[in-house]
Amino acid sequence: MSPLQLFIEYSVVGIAAGGVYALIALGIIVIFKASHTFNFAMGEMMMLSAYFFYAASVTFALGPWLGLGVALLSSVVVGLIIERVAIRPMLGRPFIAVVMVTFGIGAIIRGIVGLVWGPNELQIPAILARTPVMLGDIFVPGRTARAFAIAVVIVVGLILYLRYSRAGVALRAAAADAVTAYSMGIDVRRIVAFSWVIAAITGCISGVLMASVNTLTPHLGVVAMNVLAVIILGGLNSIGGVLVAGLIIGWLEAVTGMFLPTSFREITPYILTLIVLLIRPNGLFGARQVERI
Amino acid sequence: MLEIKGLEVIYQGVIQGLSDLSLKVPQGSIVALLGANGAGKTTTLKAISNFLPLEDGRVTKGTITLEGDNILKLAPHEIVRRGVFHVREGRYVFSDMTVEENLIAATFAKKGSQSRQAAFDEVYTYFPILSQRRRQMAGYLSGGEQQMLAIGRALVADPRVILLDEPSLGLAPLIVNEIFEIIARINREKKVSILLVEQNAMIALKYASYGYVLESGHSVLEGTTQDLAANKDIQKFYLGRVDEFEQA
């Protein structure tokens, strides 16, 4: 195989992994927009959802599809409980205080998952076919390709939904100016709850996808930290930017892994982010404030 | 009718915003609140729309009723849905959303059966310029157009009462006249009451039928706008007539 072919193959696999990054990032950004809170528990929400999927489909033997439905439903319920119990009382508090609460929630989820399921790797039922996908001469592992397709469809669907639906308008209105949003009759607290539902759904799907491509361990959520780079690169305010940024970060990780030792793989997203921020402080797609002088 | 009785507002537990304020806005009328900075005009509007808690203020005495129903304890978004729409001072359009998206946001306040498109068409009939700009970011509109959009959002909600805070703020006199002509038309044609707060007393007295003069949080003078315009104190303090006489 020629080096060029190898490079292309790495790139495709990397971009494919980036689709899931975009999905995770979207969950974080929607919450950020609705309540100016950074949800550091996103990784743990993903991981918990994957365990819900395992419990429903394997332990309770509901099969993969019903299991996925149960996992989605339980993830949404957990998301709403977190919002109601831990986030809503913190609204209006300093940013850092709310962020620390989300850190705490992450730690609690990790602890509970460790107690219930233990630290060992678990194998979730195969929902993604393993048959590789060939793009011309390029070989893409079957599960990676399918995870990418699912992630991108959901990301694009959600982006369009938030762009054109009435709920999307309400979310952006609440994000821009909560007081004015209230004066339009928008119940801002419900919008915040709605953002946690969206995050729970993207978290559940990305968690299950990650667990099917790799395996299920309590460390599954660590990947959400790489997604931080995606969000900063795309611009915190840009829902549409996450897709491109997710793909860029996925690609970059894979390509660095090809040329450099693996330890570099983990820092490249941050190096790229640093460079981008020096040139474009709002990220690649971050909104420049519209202001008329 | 919107009615306030014996209203007292306290900020941060100690600072008195309003004391024993009573006023009435009969259905279909334009009522003006006049007074100097800090007299409590905007506080009155915020007490009605229940935005006070957001600024650490609260109503400690009195009642606010809409058609006899107490609306004092309702959440801001519920008050809007009851038909009291607050157009805040400074307009506060969503600047990185389009004109049409701004109007869509206001549909959350809508209670009537009228379709969304019909409501938008009505806004565009009153403010044709907004129709041309419907796909533009609201942040790029001129000040006058932003004020039109802010009033347009109120129209979408189809309210019974519009609380209109300083619509003339920072606008050229010609634009102010144009906007007030449209406000008067909306009041006449849609039978919507307007509680108007306005620094520009001249224009407020011209368009309103009744007025209250606030000082240090309570009403010191009230009457039909004809009587108020003829009042010597009003002429001296709010219409600046003294200067005109001195110059003449």
Per-residue pLDDT of chain A (293 residues; tens, 9 = 90+): 688 888 888 888 888 889 999 999 999 999 998 888 889 999 999 999 999 999 999 999 998 899 999 999 999 999 999 999 999 998 778 889 999 999 999 999 999 999 999 999 998 888 888 888 887 777 888 888 899 999 999 999 999 999 999 999 999 999 889 889 999 999 999 999 999 999 999 999 999 999 988 889 999 988 888 787 788 888 777 788 888 888 888 898 888 888 888 788 778 888 888 888 888 877 777 765 554 44
* Residue A166 maps to a domain: yes
Q: Which among A260, A178, A203 is positioned nearest to A71, based on CA atoms? A: A203
Within 10 angstroms of residue B148's Cβ, the number of other Cβ atoms is: 27
Residues of A in Cβ contact (< 8 Å) with B104:
166, 169
- Alpha helices by DSSP H, listed for chain A, are 3-35, 42-54, 64-82, 95-117, 142-164, 166-176, 178-183, 188-213, 223-234, 241-259, 262-279
User: Using only C-alpha atoms, what is the Rg of chain B?
Assistant: 18
Least confident of B69-78, B103-112, B160-169: B103-112
* pTM (2 d.p.): 0.86
Give the pLDDT confidence of B32-44 residue by residue, as tens digits. Answer: 999 888 899 999 9
Q: For chain B, say whether A291 makes contact (Cβ under 8 Å).
A: yes
Host domain of residue A247: 3-279
CA-to-CA separations, A161 to A20, A191, A232, B103, B191, in angstroms, rounded:
18, 14, 22, 18, 37
> What distance in Å separates the CA atoms of residue B209 and residue B211, rounded to the nearest whole number?
7
The Cβ-side half-sphere exposure at A40, using a 13 Å CA radius, reads 15
Token look-up 């439905």 returns A69
Would you say residue A289 lies in a domain? no
Contacts with A, B 25-64, CB within 8 Å: 49, 51, 54
Indicate whether B248 pLDDT > 50.
no
Per-residue confidence (pLDDT) for residue A111, from 0 to 100: 94
Sort out which chain B residues have CB atoms less than 8 A from A173's CB and list them: 94, 97, 105
Q: How many domains does one find in chain A?
A: 1
Q: How far is A143 from chain B (nearest CA, A)?
A: 39
Q: Which two tokens stand for residue A48?
A: 């918990």
Alpha helices by DSSP H, listed for A36-138, are 42-54, 64-82, 95-117
Q: Which residues of B touch A188 (CB under 8 A)?
A: 77
- From chain A, the residues in CB contact with B85 under 8 A are 183
Sign of CA dihedral B105, B110, B114, B119: negative
Identity of the residue numbered A123: Q
Q: Does A167 touch chain B (CB under 8 A)?
A: no
> Does the beta carbon of B203 lie under 8 angstroms from any beta carbon of chain A?
no
Phi, psi of B191 (to 5 degrees): 55, 30
Task: Tell me, yes or no, whether A224 lies in a domain.
Answer: yes
- Beta-sheet pairing, B2-11 with B15-25: antiparallel
pLDDT of residue A289: 53
Most B CBs within 10 A among A91, A166, A183, A239, hence the mutation to make, goes to A183
B220-228 long-range CB contacts below 8 Å, 24 or more apart? B222/B23, B225/B32, B228/B34
CB A209, CB A71: distance < 8 Å:
no
Question: Do the domain assignments include residue A62?
Answer: yes
CATH class of B2-247: alpha beta
Q: Does residue A291 fall inside a structural domain?
A: no
User: Which tokens sit at B70?
Assistant: 């107490």
3-class DSSP assignment, residue A134: strand
* Dihedral sign from CA coordinates of A241, A38, A199, A121: positive
| CB contacts < 8 A (A, B) | 80
- CATH number, domain containing residue A82: 1.10.3470
